[in-house]
Amino acid sequence: MELRRYWDIVWRRLPVVLAVPLLVLAGSLALFLSRPVAYTAKTRVQLELIPQQANNDNFFRYNDYYNYLATEYAVDDLVEVLNGNVFQADVARTLQGPPYSLPVSINDVAGSLDVTRKHRVLEIAATSRHRDGAMWIAEAATRTLQQDPAKYFSRGDSQVKLSAAPLVIERPLAAHSNRIRSLFNIGLQILLGLVAGLGLAFLLDYLDDSLRGAEMAREALGLPVLGQIPANGHRRLPLPARRERELA
Distance, in Å, from the CA atom of 115 to the CA atom of 125, rounded to the nearest integer, reads: 6
- Whether residues 170 and 63 share a domain: the answer is yes
User: What pLDDT, on a 0 to 100 scale, did the predictor assign at position 6?
Assistant: 83
Residues 191, 98, single domain; the answer is: no
Residues 112 and 144 in one domain: yes
What does residue 188 show for φ and ψ, rounded to 5 degrees? -65, -40
pLDDT of residue 1: 46
State the pTM of this model: 0.64
Q: What is the rounded CA–CA span in Å between residue 232 and residue 15?
A: 25
For residue 124, tell me if it sits in a domain. yes
Name the pairing type of β-strands 39-51 and 121-128: antiparallel
Beta bridge partners of 8: none
Is there a single domain that holds both residue 172 and residue 190? no
Whether residues 95 and 21 fall in one domain: no
Are 127 and 99 contained in the same domain? Answer: yes
Number of domains making up the chain: 2
Q: Examine residue 129 and state whether it is found in any structural domain, yes or no.
A: yes
SS3 53: coil
Say if 194 falls within a structural domain: yes
E strand or H helix at 10: helix 2-12
Give yes or no for a contact between 121 and 44, defined as CB atoms under 8 angstroms apart. Answer: yes
Predicted local distance difference test score (pLDDT) of residue 117 = 87
10-residue mean pLDDT series, the chain (248 residues): 78 90 92 87 84 58 64 77 89 90 86 86 90 91 85 62 75 84 90 93 83 69 71 52 50
Is 246 a member of any domain?
Answer: no
Is the domain of 90 the same as that of 129?
Answer: yes
* Residue 137 shares a structural domain with residue 225: no
Nearest to 140 by CA among 78, 107, 92: 92
The CA distance from 84 to 106, in Å, is 11
Q: Are residues 88 and 71 in the same domain?
A: yes
Domain that includes residue 28, residue range: 2-34+181-241
The rounded radius of gyration (Å) of the Cα atoms in the chain is 34
